[in-house]
Amino acid sequence: ADFDAKKKRKVAEIYQVLNSEPIDVAALRRMAISEGGLLTDEIRCKVWPKLLSVNTDDLPPPPAGKELREDNKDYQQVLLDVQRSLRRFPPGMPDEQREGLQEDLIDIILHVLKRNPQLHYYQGYHDIVVTFLLVVGDRLATALVEKLSTHHLRDFMDPTMDNTKHILNYLMPIIDQMNPEVHDFMQSAEVGTIFALSWLITWFGHVLSDFRHVVRLYDFFLACHPLMPIYFAAVIVLYRGQEVLDCECDMASVHHLLSQIPQDLPYEKLISKAGDIFVRFPPSKLAKEAAQQQAERTAAFTFKDFELAAMQQRPDTLRRRFRERPQAEERTKSILSKPRTNRLVKLAVVGLTVALGAAALAVVKSALEWAPKFELQLFP
């Protein structure tokens, strides 16, 4: 009953913010981050567009399926992925309704790709799009996904995996700051970070079976800095730290343990922990170590964990994306050693101030730099 009262109060507060002029987006971020997130899909339909600054009065017309599908180089792959996405739809949904939604899903993806030729489809992208489709419907989902794809997901949609790998390189430095023992154990086991790849590129949509947990995380990620999903990934590993240490110290065992994500995680606790770590160790503090990670990844080392990933996942998942580019490591080093004053991104973690108290204020007031190449001003 106490929770219900709290929930009612929070719903009222959110509507109060939504009905005020101008809308205080920072307050909406706080609501999305704090306990319980945005609570209902009805509220998400109203708040998610605000978090992504999408104008709902000016939505594109629904994508026209037929001409999108003809001569589209991604169509076959998207079709395959969408056909395999059965478990992302609510159990018990009538086939006809689900098939209609799968058609919408294909259209949204092809529409966004057609309008943004610089974006490349990757497997797992449909796991993000389906989440938006189920929560906000096709028209609004199209607009939100397009904005998200040119901002938060931008690095996953490059022609190569370089920037995605670069983001994965933040994982170990975060773990090292919080629990050096777990970090050193994982380094000795040479487990790499591939186990977290599908978490990161689907915002956990692909690996969590309960839709409520997925949308709760989307509330959190939409309100935060684009790197927050990698902090959340680190928090899951830290939460399982003892299990990791009890494991055989070899790659296969640790990889196997970590890639099986427990479904009963204490999400609210982990969300506030991730926010907390972000405030203490923002990406700018970890960038040097992330570059170091990249530089130390010898060909043998990387080959080993990609090979393992290829065994563990459907072979078509990774093939297109893992074309190794040796000069990438040099590039990462040079990118990170240059002063990057001109590429500041306004911190999107304003919402953490309430969730985490005064410690966050200092960070919120300062802008954060973000490598590798994030020249877009997020959230003007």
21-49 average pLDDT score: 95
286-291 average pLDDT score: 83
Whole-angstrom Cα distance, residue 36 to residue 10?
A: 9
* pLDDT value at 277 more than 50: yes
* pLDDT value at 24 more than 60: yes
* pLDDT value at 285 more than 90: no
* pLDDT value at 85 more than 90: no
Three-state DSSP state, 369 = strand
Whole-angstrom Cα distance, residue 99 to residue 65?
A: 14
Rounded (10°) angle between helices 125-136 and 211-222:
100
* pLDDT value at 168 more than 60: yes
pLDDT at 162: 87
Whole-angstrom Cα distance, residue 101 to residue 92?
A: 14
Lowest mean pLDDT among 35-39, 249-253, 356-360: 356-360
Which structure tokens are listed for 319? 């093939």
Over residues 103-125, the pLDDT tens digits come to 999 999 999 999 999 999 999 99
Whole-angstrom Cα distance, residue 131 to residue 52?
A: 15
pLDDT at 104: 93
Break the chain into its structural domains and give their ranges: 1-52, 65-134, 161-285
* pLDDT value at 303 more than 60: no
Lowest mean pLDDT among 198-212, 270-284, 354-368: 354-368
Assess contact for 301 and 329: CB atoms under 8 A. no
* pLDDT value at 296 more than 80: no
* pLDDT value at 208 more than 90: yes
pLDDT at 317: 40
Lowest mean pLDDT among 155-159, 167-171, 230-234, 331-335: 331-335
On the question of a cis peptide bond just before residue 372, with omega within 30 degrees of 0, the verdict is: yes
Tell me which fold the domain 161-285 belongs to.
Answer: Cyclin A; domain 1 (1.10.472)
Assess contact for 187 and 172: CB atoms under 8 A. yes
* pLDDT value at 368 more than 90: no
Share of the chain above pLDDT 90, in %: 64
* pLDDT value at 268 more than 60: yes
pLDDT at 112: 94
Over residues 348-358, the pLDDT tens digits come to 333 333 334 33
Lowest mean pLDDT among 173-187, 259-273, 312-326, 343-357: 343-357
Mean of per-residue pLDDT scores for the chain: 80
Tell me which fold the domain 65-134 belongs to.
Answer: Helicase, Ruva Protein; domain 3 (1.10.8)
Length of the chain: 380
Lowest mean pLDDT among 243-247, 288-292, 326-330: 326-330
- Give first-to-last CA distance, the chain, whole Å: 40
